[in-house]
Structure 1
Amino acid sequence: MTSRVAALLLLGIFCVGFASAQIVSDCCLKVSRKTLPLQILDGYIIQDAGHGCEISATAFITKVGRMLCVSHPKDQEWVKKYITFLDEKKAKRQ
């Protein structure tokens, strides 16, 4: 009886592990090339194609929690500058 319970528990752990590996993250499906107002941004996520998402992009997070997808930093200079600014702002807060 105890071995059956242990086997079922072990099976449950394996199933949860496999299920969590299949969770899809939010991905940018298309990007805007328009410059965003810097004062509305609070953070960013860099998305690389082939690592769970189809395209490379930068997802800027606004102060109200919205995700705005723009070009990858390697493609647009203004995106690199915004990322540098946000990194410096975050470092000052810590």
Structure 2
Amino acid sequence: MASKVAALLFLGLICFHVATAQIVMDCCLSVSEKRLIPKNIVSYKLQVAGSGCDISAAVFLNKKGMKLCVVPPEGNQWVQNLIRTLEKRRQRDAETQVCC
């Protein structure tokens, strides 16, 4: 009987440890202020500090599949313009892919 209780406690401890483990995220560790060429960029995502990553950043994906970490869009007009360009491109591409 004692071995069953010990096994259940051990199993509960393992489940608790797995449930509290942190999820590994692919985060930018530093950012660049170097401006990017819009024709080479295919998509983006925003990284927010405190949501699993230490710093905020705009993460752009280029045609070669490389992730490029730059300063966040807040207060950086060129980043805002690049995001706007990508959104317009995405919208245009979605409109051309609408099929009957």
Normalising by structure 1, we get a TM-score of 0.76
1:16-73 Cα shifts (integer Å, max 9, x gaps): x838x73212111000001111111000010110000000100001011110000000
Secondary structure at the counterpart of residue 19 of structure 2:
helix
Where do 1:1-94 residues align within 5 Å? 18=19, 22-94=22-94
One-letter identity of the residue aligned with 1:61: L
Report the Cα distance in structure 2 between the residues aligned to 1:49 and 1:84, rounded to whole angstroms: 22
Q: How many equivalent pairs are there?
A: 81
- Structure 2 length normalisation: TM-score? 0.72
Which is further off, 22-31 or 42-51?
22-31
- Structure 2 unaligned residues grouped into runs of 5+: 1-11, 95-100
Separation in structure 2 between the aligned mates of residue 52 and residue 72 of structure 1, nearest angstrom: 16
Give me the whole-angstrom Cα distance separating, in 1, the residues matched to 2:32 and 2:90.
25
**Structure 2: distance between partners of 1:87 and 1:39:** 13
* Structure 2 CA distance for aligned equivalents of residues 60 and 76 of structure 1: 15
- The list of structure 1 runs, each at least 4 consecutive aligned residues, that deviate by more than 4 angstroms after superposition, is none
Larger radius of gyration: 2
